[in-house]
Amino acid sequence: MRRTTNKYLLAALLIGSILPACKKVLEQQPKDSTYLQAFWKSAADCKSALAGNYSLLRAALAYKQNSYYMYGDAVAQNYFTIQYNGDGLEPIQTGDFTGAYNVNSLGDWTRFYKVIAMSNTILKQVTPLKDEALADAKVDPQVFKNGILGQALFIRAYAYFMLTRIWGDVPLDTISYDNPIDAPQRGRSPKADIMKLIESDCHQAAAMLNWGYQDPGDVAVTATKGSVYALLAHLYLWRATMLDVNSTTPNATDVASADTAINALVTNGGYILTDTAHYGKMFIGKSAESIFELNMSEDDKEGTTTGIGLPFLPTKYLATANTTPRFFVPPTYFANNYKFPDRANPGFQLQDSGDIRSRNNFTALTSTKPICLKYSNVVYRGVGQTEPYLSNNMILFRLSDMLLLKAEINIYQNDLTSAITRINDWRKSRGGSQDSANILAASATRDMVMHQYIVERGRELFLEGHIFWDLLRTRTYGDFMSWLSVQRFAQEGFYWPVYPMLFQNNLNLRQTPYWGGKL
């Protein structure tokens, strides 16, 4: 009997001795990636997260054949032409945003919310970091931390600015969710609230960021105080005229704020206008004029195979190009922006071919399908001119844009004389023809000045993602495009519809009013 007991005891001991050691097998940490609990421990982590934030913004704007230009330029109709190839993209140029492929891509704002969520995450995770954790920053930890937080705020503000320009009212979220399954389904917040958030984010960011760059490698492709002011200037002007589309008088306070922002930027930013000789190089990137641009450079192997410039290029400029490039610049663009009446031959027009912008940016002007060469810095990765990558950064803000906005501010402030001077000087500095027909007369009316202002922006900022917003803001769309009627403008029919799949789980979401029942 005793022996049996011993046996059971022995058995129990056997099992008992194995048990405690076993529990460890249930704790297995991943080694194939970093994770929330292991990240956010150093300055290097913060830098990588910020690079992630910029990458997401780049991904958002490069998506769908560079949506940045689709929203900002393609829909403005007469600046470049997308030809048919079966994907159904071209109808957006005639104001039809309902195509299935367009509404599921350009009508989908999801990618902007990933940018915002990344900013929110950085703000949440970096704010509580102690100085000791940031010891590897090599600069004052507080300065470093402010730099990270300020840039994240700027990126968030920029993403919201894109959202509100494209859709008007959009969901607003500034929370980084510990468990995203708890996140509420947000409906659309009024655009005034979105703009208020952008404004306050910018103010916070401006307080945290410095003018200029510590590291020359960061020039233009990371945000500084100057970038924030540029965004603020755009926000103020947009809000001044677009918050209430039926108002004809811009909000004077906002206009004044825009003026202040630009003045501060010009005074303190240290930006230098590119001269005529180096004009073309500016679009490759990191120029002294650039205020903020997204890095898409082959120097860092970050070039693109679908860059905005590539579909314009024929084989001469792009070895692998199709025989007929898909995009071209329509002759109307030149008629609208570069032609002026020929006094010698009434009824005929002259082309302003001396303008550096015309000379640098275009070729084959006399053909039916002129070519845009503004972004044609093709780098071949493969031998024998194969695997082409476009190595032109995506420029979002530059000094010329800011200086031209000053003319718009002058107009809003009824200072037509200053506006006229600015526009004429500008055109002259770019080598524009000094033929009196190509120059605004001092007696020009507000409408004429505004028209020439847009002509000048059309020359300077061609294919830089601005022109459509300019046309809306200045109400000159009627002069340059046909699909947007006054009624449609009044109904805010320039905003994009929302991709219907986004309504699937979100009962709080409503379709953009103009598009209700049209999809």
Partner 1 sequence: MGKQLLWLLPCLLFYFLASMPLAADAQQTPVVPLSGVIRDAKGLPVVGASIRVKNSKAHALTDSSGAFRISLPSRNAGLIISHISFNEVEINPKDSTGQLRITMIGRDSKLDDVVVIGYQSVTRKKTTAAISSISGKEIANLPSSSFDQLMQGRLSGVSVQNYSGEPGSAPSVTVRGNSRISTSYDQFNVVSTPLYVVDGVPQPTETYVGLDVGTGTNYLGGVNPNDIESIDVLKDASAAAIYGSRAANGVILITTKKGRSGIPKTTVSGYVGATQRPQLRTVETGATERRNKMSILQQSLTPDQQRQLPYMLTDSLNPAFNGHTDWQDLFYRTGVIKDVDLSLSGGGEGGTSYRFSSGYYDEQGIISATGFKRYTMRLNLLSKGLGGKLTINPVVNFTRMDRSRGSGNTGNPISVAAGSMPSSLFVMDVNKRAALLGEYNENFDRNTNTQFSFNLNLGYEFSRNFKFTSQNSYLYNTSRRDYSRTSELNSGQGNLASAYGDNEINILSSNYFSFNKSFGQHNFSILAGQDIQYDQYQNTQASGSHGSSDVIQAVQGFDQRYLGASSDYQAYGLLSYYSRISYDYMGRYLLSASVRGDGSSRFGKNKKWGTFPSVSLGWLLSEEDFMKKDKSIFSLLKLRASVGKSGSLPSSNYLQYNLYNTGAGTYEGNNAATAYNGVNAITPNFAGGAAQPNLSWEKSTQWNLGLDAEVLNGKFSMALDLYNKENTDQLFNVNLPVNSGYDYAQTNAMGVRNYGVDLTLAGNPLSDRSPIKWFTRLNITYNKNKIMHLPNGGRDLVMSGDRFNRSHIETVGSPVNSFYLLKTLGVYATDADVPANPLTGIPMYGGGTNTFKAGDFRFLDLDGDYLIDPFQEGISSDKLATGDPNPTITGGWTNNITYKRFTLGLFFTFTFKRDVLDLYKADQFNNFAGSGSGSPGDLAQYALPDLSKLNIWRKPGDNADYAKLDLGSYRYYYRSDQTFFLTPGDYVRLKSTSLSYELPAKALQKIKIDRFRVFGVVDNLLRWQRSKDLPDAEAVNGYGEYNGDGYPIPKKFTLGLEVNF
Least Cβ distance, residue 7 to partner 1 (angstroms): 4
The DSSP 8-state label assigned to residue 497 in this structure reads P
Shortest reach from residue 439's CB to partner 1, in Å: 41
Q: C-beta of 285: minimal distance to partner 1 in Å?
A: 10
**In whole angstroms, what is the distance from residue 332 CA to residue 408 CA?**
24
Helix, strand or coil for residue 449?
Answer: helix
Choose between 124 and 339: whose C-beta lies nearer to partner 1: 124
Q: Which is nearer to partner 1, 20 or 346 (CB)?
A: 20
Among candidate residues 478, 485, 461, 473, the one with its CA nearest the CA of residue 337: 461
From the CB of 57, what's the least distance to partner 1, in Å? Answer: 9
Query: Do 379 and 391 meet the contact criterion of CB atoms below 8 Å apart?
Result: yes
Closest approach of Cβ 417 to partner 1, in Å?
43
User: To the nearest whole angstrom, how small is the minimum distance from the Cβ of residue 339 to partner 1?
Assistant: 34
- Tell me whether residue 34 or residue 367 sits nearer to partner 1 (CB atom): 34
Alpha carbons 267 and 381: distance in angstroms, whole number: 41
For partner 1, the closer of residues 15 and 344 by Cβ is 15
Whole-number Å distance between alpha carbons of 365 and 334? 8
DSSP state of 304: B
Tokens of 428: 């002259």
Whose Cβ is closer to partner 1: residue 34's or residue 436's? 34
Minimum CB–partner distance for residue 213 and partner 1 (Å): 12
- DSSP labels for 170-213? B-------SSGGG-----PBPHHHHHHHHHHHHHHHHHH--SS-
121: which DSSP letter?
Answer: H
Nearest distance, CB of residue 102 and partner 1, angstroms:
12
Residue 221 or 403 with smaller CB distance to partner 1: 221
Q: How far is the CB of 390 from partner 1 (least distance, A)?
A: 8
DSSP-assigned letter for residue 498: P
Residues in contact with 421: Cβ distance below 8 Å, sequence separation at least 6, in sequence order:
none
> Which DSSP helix (H) or strand (E) runs through 141?
helix 141-167
Smallest Cα–Cα separation from 283: which of 266, 297, 299? 297
* Minimum CB distance to partner 1, residue 191 (Å): 16
35/344 with CB nearer partner 1: 35
Shortest distance in whole angstroms from residue 14 CB to partner 1: 7
Give the closest residue to 155 by CA, choosing from 66, 237, 54. 54
The 8-class DSSP code of residue 74 comes to G
Q: How far is the CB of 68 from partner 1 (least distance, A)?
A: 11
Contacts 24+ apart (CB under 8 A), 349-356: 350/433, 350/435, 350/437, 352/432, 352/433, 352/438, 354/431, 354/432, 354/433, 355/427, 355/430, 355/431, 355/432, 355/433, 355/459, 356/276, 356/279, 356/430, 356/431
- Residue placing its CB nearer to partner 1 in the complex, 92 or 423: 92
Residue closer to partner 1 (CB basis): 162 or 423 = 162
Which secondary-structure segment (H or E) carries 399? helix 399-412
**Sole residue written with tokens 């979105």:** 194
DSSP of 317-361, one letter per residue? T-TT--SS-SEE--HHHHHHHTEEE-SSSTT-EEE----HHHHHH
The residue written with tokens 């009024």 in the block is 190
In angstroms, give the least distance from the CB of 115 to partner 1: 8
The residue (of 114 and 475) whose beta carbon lies closer to partner 1 is 114
Structure-block tokens of residue 260: 């202040």
| C-beta closer to partner 1: residue 72 or 370 | 72
Which residues on adjacent β-strands are paired with residue 327? 82
Would you say 333 or 389 has its CB closer to partner 1?
389
Nearer to partner 1, 50 or 205 (CB): 50
